[in-house]
Homo-oligomer: A and B are copies of this chain.
Amino acid sequence: MAQRIQNLRRASTSEQMCEALDFSGRRWALRIVWELRVGPLNFRALQSACGNISPSVLQRRLHELGRLGVIEKIPGLGYRLSASGEKLFLVLAQLDKWSDGLRLAPSTSDK
């Protein structure tokens, strides 16, 4: 463990990783990918799958995800994960697994 940390201490954060982290830090971005895991969804279905996310943000995220090559638009079907998106989904599956051990907000003394 300490060994691993030692090894990583020299590594800087790559440009791509910055992009990935930056993008992940936008609301709904990863959620959209996660909701698409079940298969293609159209705009309105995605909207409701994400808990009625506002359409303007959804539209923007879909553009951004498309630009990153994570999703593809299929005319008459909606949006679906690309090959790269499927790989990203695998990462999110890990996150899902991790989140199992998450203690949920008790919200005491939490503004």
Identify the A interface with B (CB < 8 A). 1-3, 5-6, 8-11, 13-22, 24-31, 34-35, 37-42, 45, 49, 63, 67-69, 77-78, 84, 86-88, 90-91, 94-96, 98-106, 110-111
Contact = CB atoms under 8 A, between A and B. Distances in A.
A34 B21 CA distance: 9
Contact of A6 (B6, B30, B38): B38
A96 B25 contact: no
A84 B103 CA distance: 10
A13 B25 contact: no
Contacts of A99: 14, 16-17, 19-20
A95 to B, nearest CB: 5
Contact of A68 (B10, B96, B100, B102): B102
12 contacts: A2-B40, A6-B39, A10-B38, A15-B104, A16-B102, A17-B95, A17-B99, A19-B102, A20-B102, A63-B110, A69-B102, A94-B94
